[in-house]
Amino acid sequence: MKTVNELKMTVDSKSVNEGFSRVAIGAFIACLDPDIEELNDVKTAVSEAVTNAIVHGYREKAGKIYITVSISDNNIVRIRIRDKGVGIEDIPKAMEPLFTTAGSERAGLGFAVMESFMDSVRVTSQLGRGTTVTLKKRIWGKNS
Amino acid sequence: MPVKIETQGKSIRACIQGDIDHHSAFMIRKAVDAEISRRRPRLLILDFGEVTFMDSSGIGLVMGRYKLMKGFGGEIRVENLSAGAYRVMRLAGLERLGEIKQKEIV
């Protein structure tokens, strides 16, 4: 498995960049000719991960979000979204559906959406150092 | 404005436009809630027909409005969901809270 194309970008932890990040990543993977559902799955998962970095990682304060997207020769898209925020104390708990620390307007389903829309979701975190979410999905494309 | 609000008798129809994410949900919520507290409708219809994208912020938006309406005995209906938005809503089990309808395929 060889990386054939890679995108690296850094965005400020501002909510306006949620839309920018998912659209930019959607455009980057367009070369794999994803169908509407695959494209929407990736954009939705990215939106969840970037929102988590802003709302939880940085607690809506200023920070940077580091995004790497790589496409491998077997059409697997790997998206790494990293923040240098507060970190997660208990990862399994944070990933439980309906668990949230952000109040009644957040459903606590961000990780559930990522897990349901991507092939794999991996989370690593260190308290006080930040969190990295790695999302993977094989794009079969319109011709599959 | 990301939402167009129409009053029809005892019901309010809120047509949401564009992307629903954590960034836009705040404005949508503010506009819809202001109208709910002003009119106290029996039914709130959230029309997703012009929604171009939705992540789990859409679930929070529906759940929050459901609680608000339920507080004074009102009901909620969600209409014209795209296939993608419908999948996100189903994931949250929102069909248990009210009527959730997909866009009709023409």
Whole-complex ipTM? 0.92
Distance CA A41, CA A31 (A): 16
pLDDT of A136 strictly over 80: yes
Distance CA A65, CA A63 (A): 7
Domain assignment present for residue A87? The answer is: yes
Domain assignment present for residue A123? The answer is: yes
**How would residue A63 be classed by pLDDT, with cut points 50, 70 and 90?**
very high
Q: How many structural domains is chain A composed of?
A: 1
The active-site residue, picked from A75, A106, A115, A138, is A106
3-state secondary structure (DSSP) of residue B1: coil
CATH code: domain B3-102 is 3.30.750.24
Q: What is the mean pLDDT of residues A80-96?
A: 95
The half-sphere exposure of A35 on its side-chain side, counting CA atoms within 13 A, is: 8
The active-site residue, picked from A17, A38, A52, A82, is A52
pLDDT of A71 strictly over 90: yes
pLDDT of A141 strictly over 70: yes
pLDDT at B90: 86
Residue of A nearest to B91 (CA): A113
Domain assignment present for residue A106? The answer is: yes
- Residues of chain B contacting A15 with CB distance shorter than 8 Å: 21-23
3-state secondary structure (DSSP) of residue A14: coil
Is A59 annotated in the active site?
Answer: no
Interface contact flag, A113 B55, Cβ < 8 Å: yes
pLDDT of A104 strictly over 80: no
Residue of B nearest to A103 (CA): B60
Domain around A74: 3-138
Q: In this structure, what token pair is assigned to residue B5?
A: 């609000």
Q: Compute the mean pLDDT over every residue in chain A, rounded to the nearest whole number.
A: 95
Distance CA B81, CA B67 (A): 20
pLDDT of B106 strictly over 70: no
* Contact indicator for A66, A10 with CB cutoff of 8 Å: yes
Strand segments (E) across chain A: 3-12, 64-72, 76-83, 120-126, 130-138
Question: Cα angle vertex B82, ends B80, B87, to 5°?
Answer: 115
Is A48 annotated in the active site?
Answer: yes
pLDDT of A138 strictly over 60: yes
Residue of A nearest to B64 (CA): A105
